[in-house]
Every structure is written in C-alpha cells, then in structure tokens.
Amino acid sequence: MSERLDGKVAAVTGASRGIGLATAHVLSERGARVALIARTRAALDDAVAAIGGAAFAVVADVADPDSVRAAFAAIEREAGRLDLLVNNAAIARLHRVEDASDEDLVATVGTNFLGVLYCTRSAIPLLRASGGVVVNVSSEGVRRPFPMLSVYLATKGAVELLSTALSEELRSDGIRVTLLRSGGSTGGFAQEWDPEEGRRAIELWKQRGLLDFVGFPMPAEAIAESIVHAATRPPGLGVDFLEVRSSKPFPSGSD
C-alpha cells in the first residue's frame, strides 16, 4: 500500500514543535502540501523554512472559533482543498485542581478540547469534498491518569469519546476519523514546565509507579510516522484507533 500523498493537502495544529512539527515534516516528505497551524508567527516561519517544499504557515489560536474559521478559509484560498486534518495542538500545565487558575482551566480546555471541535467543524466541508481523514491525538495517560495533569487528561478523555462519535457521524460523508493514543514524546509541551515543579511531579509519579507504566519518551518522528500511516489507508479502509507506546523503561534515576 502506498503512503505517498502527492497532490494532497494536510493541516496540522500545534505544528511549530514536537509531534506536530514532526508530522508536518513527514507529510511533506511524502508529497503533501502542508498547512502548519500554531499561534506564534516566528516559530511557524522557522518550521516552514526547515520543512521547505510546499509547506505554508497559518497563524491561529485553535481555542478561538473566529481565528479557526479564518485559518481554514485561508487554507482553502491557498490550497483549494483539504484531505487531512491532524488535531494535535495541546497544552498541559502541572497543578493540582484546587490550585489551577481560571486562565489555566480556560486555556487547557479551550486548546485541547474546544480546539479539536472548532478545527473539525471548519474542516468538515473541505474534507467531505475530498473524502478526507481526521486524526485526533490523545495520550496514553487516559488509561492511568497522572496527578498534577488531571485537567489535561480529562480533555484527552473527551477527545477520545468525541472521536468515536465523530467516526459514526461522518461515516456517511466519506470522512474517516482516527484516534491516535500516543505515549510520551520528545520535544513537547513538557519543555515549558517549571523545572522545580517538573521534578516534584516526576518524583510523585515515580512513587506511584506511573513512570514504569509510560516508559521513556519516544522520538516525535515515530509518532508522526504512525499518524501518516493511519491517514494514508486506501478508501474503504479506516483505522479507528491506534496506540503508539514506548517499550523502553523510564530510567529509575531520571529526574
């Protein structure tokens, strides 16, 4: 089966780093024209320059419905079609629920769950025309939720249920929906955590045995390859669910 995407157009959210950037790279290498969606122009411009080819930047905040509408209108103007949407954008802030600020909660739910809804809603007319694919990225943490990440993981649980429902809702439109449940990866949002807060969280997770469950972070490229594989199945063959996990143990002495 071919995993080429010549003539196809893809949109990837959270595309300026981590899984999103790696996915945009792989999609471009397979021949797709890729719209990289993120909030920061400078980071997007750097990503587009690194990818080259037919990649282009779309500055948008996925938590803002008007920004999302404008983004997908821009993609349609620029590329004329859309064959694949990868809902990858996410934030994960370390805190106990009682310590979470209003802004923490609004930003996390807005980006991680409403962002998936807003982007999918705007993409559906374009994907219906192409018989396209939606890939929603979740986290293996939904199977064994971590303390200090409860809000993040609750949004990922919501994305999983939404994906199942969307798969049924969009089936008659010829749009396939894949849920990709990912293990931890390099180059992601954890880079933004306060180092001391991160150390405390990791120590707590060690005590609870959670790091034995998740394993050592994987290269973002490995997850990107799985996303592209799911997205390139031929018509009539869908991948409803795919889980990619590390088999490498988390070092007991890591901090």
What CATH code is carried by the domain that includes residue 191?
3.40.50.720
Q: Is 250 within a domain?
A: no
CA dihedral 140, 141, 143, 148 (to 10 degrees): 180
- Residue 152 class from Cβ within 10 Å (0-12 exposed, 13-18 middle, 19+ buried)? buried
163 with 136: CB under 8 angstroms?
yes
Q: Is 3 within a domain?
A: no
Cα 234–chain centre separation = 22
Per-residue pLDDT, 118: 98
Query: What is the CA angle 68-218-28, rounded to 5?
Result: 50
pLDDT digits (tens, 9 = 90+) for 128-158: 999 999 999 999 889 888 898 999 999 999 9
Q: Is 139 within a domain?
A: yes
Domain span at residue 25? 9-242
Mean pLDDT, all residues of the chain: 91
C-alpha distances out from residue 31 to 23, 136, 196, Å: 13, 21, 42
On the CB side of 130, CA atoms within 13 Å amount to 22
What domain count does the chain have?
1
* Catalytic machinery residues: 152
Q: Is 142 within a domain?
A: yes
DSSP designation for 159: H
Q: Is 2 within a domain?
A: no
Q: Is 30 within a domain?
A: yes
Q: Is 253 within a domain?
A: no
Query: Residue 33 pairs with which residues in a beta bridge?
Result: 9
- pTM of the entire predicted model: 0.92
If pLDDT is split at 50, 70 and 90, which confidence band does 188 have? low
pLDDT digits (tens, 9 = 90+) for 79-95: 999 999 999 999 999 99
Q: Following DSSP, what letter does each residue of 203-225 receive, concatenated?
A: HHHHHTTHHHHH-SPBPHHHHHH
